[in-house]
Amino acid sequence: MRHGRGLLIGLFFTVVGAALMYLTLAGRMPGTLNVAAESPAPVSTVPQTVVDLQQSVVRSAEVVGKSVVNIDVTATVQGRRMPFPFPPGHPQEAHGEGSGVIISEDGWILTNDHVVRGASQIDVTMSDGRKFKGTVKGADAVSDLALVKVDATGLPASNLGDSDALPVGSFVIAVGNPLGFDQTVTMGVLSGRGREIPEPGKEFRNLLQTDAAINPGNSGGPLADLEGRVIGINTAIIPRAQGMGFAIPINHARDIMTQLRASGRVIRPFVGIAMQEVDEEVAAYLRLPRVEGVLVLRSIDGGPAARAGIVRGDVVVEIDGKPVNEVIRFQETIRAKKVGDSVTLKVWGQGRFRTVTLKLAEMP
């Protein structure tokens, strides 16, 4: 009897132990919640530096994107003229689009002149979908910049940065509305600075170069750093190349838009000569004592230089006592002055040096 009772007690504890083990393995221990077993969290294999870069790009796009607008332009153009005896073509409506960036919360928008030139109607769409009618308040074909005004307040103005401070190789983003795709963000680097693109009637000098994708419709939109600060206004590409876009430095655009906002136009000092650098062949032909200066290719009739006696074939070697050997340096020196200022030039012509003083006029 005693042995039978011990056998029953042993069997009881064996059954209880087995039940407890089952409950433990099934996650059903008494006093616990019925929670399904969780899979272990995946371990990220992306380096933290890449994650940080991605987050910087996202933040920058969010910050600057709020101030980027879509600009739809309607213009009236003359229809194609057919040969005689057909009548002249009738005026037709043409449509185009570009981008812009809000520079003040009371509705001032910076864009490219070529985006709004000739517009009879401008429709501006904000990043939040609101639409406004826009008016061109100032435009400058030479710099390819323009100011558009919409009747609104409390708009998200952009943060303008310092285009001279960002090192070449820094990451940048371009934001705009290329080919009708709103709020498109592309990323690249600041590929170079001080670039020049020959374009008749334009001063495309000291441009920023980037490999961030810029397409038709991006014109007038911002090039920004990873802090969301606007460092340039996207303005041009080279179609036959890949990854070569150009932006007007915001430090240059600041001066232009200040003048446009004040008077609707840009007042530039004007000498009235077309120039090129002097090389060894030119110096030898003109019997210059050494290779220096800029060669006058044309002296515009009635301009300050022509009135001062400067003619085609003269060489300007100094301006206000400082040597000048590059066209861009000559132009930068003149641009730093005001209409009405006097400048003194040292000029080589007809085998001798002479000093010429002239008064700067306003560029027509």
Contact (Cβ atoms closer than 8 angstroms) between residue 203 and residue 188: no
3-state class of 49 per DSSP?
Answer: helix
Whether 72 has a pLDDT exceeding 90, the answer reads yes
* Residues 173 and 139 reside in one and the same domain: no
3-state class of 50 per DSSP?
Answer: helix
User: How confident is the model at residue 182, as a pLDDT?
Assistant: 87
Q: Is residue 130 part of a domain?
A: yes
- DSSP 8-state symbol, 88: P
Whether 337 has a pLDDT exceeding 70, the answer reads yes
Q: Is residue 57 part of a domain?
A: no
* Rounded-to-integer distance, Cα 354 and Cα 347, Å: 5
Whether 312 has a pLDDT exceeding 90, the answer reads yes
* Residues 142 and 174 reside in one and the same domain: no
Mean pLDDT in residue range 76-101: 72
| Structural domain harbouring 132 | 64-150
Q: Is residue 24 part of a domain?
A: no
* Residues 171 and 227 reside in one and the same domain: yes
Among 217, 249, 281, which residue terminates a domain? 249
Among 39-48, 233-242, 250-259, 280-289, which stretch is predicted with the lowest mean pLDDT? 39-48
Whether 101 has a pLDDT exceeding 60, the answer reads yes
Active-site annotation holder among 144, 211, 225, 314: 144
State the CATH number of the domain containing residue 139.
Answer: 2.40.10.10
User: How confident is the model at residue 33, as a pLDDT?
Assistant: 44
* Residues 228 and 300 reside in one and the same domain: no
Mean pLDDT in residue range 50-56: 89
Q: Is residue 26 part of a domain?
A: no
Detail the DSSP E strand segments found in 79-170.
91-104, 108-111, 119-125, 131-140, 145-150, 159-160
Number of domains making up the chain: 3
Active-site annotation holder among 113, 114, 163, 314: 114
Q: What is the mean pLDDT of the chain?
A: 86
H/E stretch holding 54 reads helix 48-65
pLDDT digits (tens, 9 = 90+) for 143-152: 999 999 999 9
* Residues 354 and 282 reside in one and the same domain: yes
Mean pLDDT in residue range 200-207: 78
* Residues 125 and 75 reside in one and the same domain: yes
Residue 50 banded pLDDT, cuts 50, 70, 90? confident
User: What is the rounded radius of gyration, in angstroms, for the C-alpha atoms of the chain?
Assistant: 34
Among 249, 282, 302, which residue terminates a domain? 249
pLDDT digits (tens, 9 = 90+) for 107-128: 999 999 999 999 999 999 999 9
Q: Is residue 88 part of a domain?
A: yes
Contact (Cβ atoms closer than 8 angstroms) between residue 124 and residue 132: yes
Residue 29 banded pLDDT, cuts 50, 70, 90? very low
* Residues 208 and 280 reside in one and the same domain: no
pLDDT digits (tens, 9 = 90+) for 232-254: 999 998 888 888 999 999 999 99
User: How confident is the model at residue 164, as a pLDDT?
Assistant: 94
Q: Is residue 167 part of a domain?
A: yes
Peptide bond into 239 cis (omega under 30): no
Q: Which residues of 311-326 are buried (b: 16+ CB within 10 A; e: fewer)?
A: eeebbbbbbeeeebee
Among 2-6, 89-93, 105-109, 203-207, which stretch is predicted with the lowest mean pLDDT? 2-6
* Residues 203 and 276 reside in one and the same domain: no
Whether 351 has a pLDDT exceeding 50, the answer reads yes
Whether 3 has a pLDDT exceeding 90, the answer reads no
* Residues 137 and 83 reside in one and the same domain: yes
State the CATH number of the domain containing residue 281.
Answer: 2.30.42.10
Contact (Cβ atoms closer than 8 angstroms) between residue 140 and residue 134: no
* Rounded-to-integer distance, Cα 280 and Cα 292, Å: 9
* Residues 136 and 178 reside in one and the same domain: no
CB count within 10 Å of CB 185 equals 19
Active site residue 182: no
User: How confident is the model at residue 359, as a pLDDT?
Assistant: 96
Q: Is residue 5 part of a domain?
A: no
Residue 82 banded pLDDT, cuts 50, 70, 90? low
Active-site annotation holder among 219, 225, 299, 314: 219
Name residues whose C-beta falls within 8 Å of residue 140's C-beta, 6 or more positions apart in sequence: 113, 146, 256, 259, 260, 265, 266
pLDDT digits (tens, 9 = 90+) for 287-306: 999 999 999 999 999 999 99
Q: Is residue 36 part of a domain?
A: no
pLDDT digits (tens, 9 = 90+) for 158-168: 999 999 999 99
* Rounded-to-integer distance, Cα 283 and Cα 344, Å: 22
Residue 78 banded pLDDT, cuts 50, 70, 90? low
Whether 176 has a pLDDT exceeding 70, the answer reads yes
Active site residue 114: yes
Name residues whose C-beta falls within 8 Å of residue 132's C-beta, 6 or more positions apart in sequence: 107, 123, 124, 126, 150, 151, 152
* Residues 240 and 193 reside in one and the same domain: yes
Mean pLDDT in residue range 334-362: 94
3-state class of 145 per DSSP?
Answer: strand
Among 99, 121, 150, which residue terminates a domain? 150
User: How confident is the model at residue 100, as a pLDDT?
Assistant: 97
User: How confident is the model at residue 227, as a pLDDT?
Assistant: 95
Active site residue 301: no
* Residues 275 and 213 reside in one and the same domain: no
Contact (Cβ atoms closer than 8 angstroms) between residue 111 and residue 98: yes
Residues comprising the chain, all counted: 364
Among 19-28, 138-147, 347-356, which stretch is predicted with the lowest mean pLDDT? 19-28
* Rounded-to-integer distance, Cα 273 and Cα 327, Å: 11
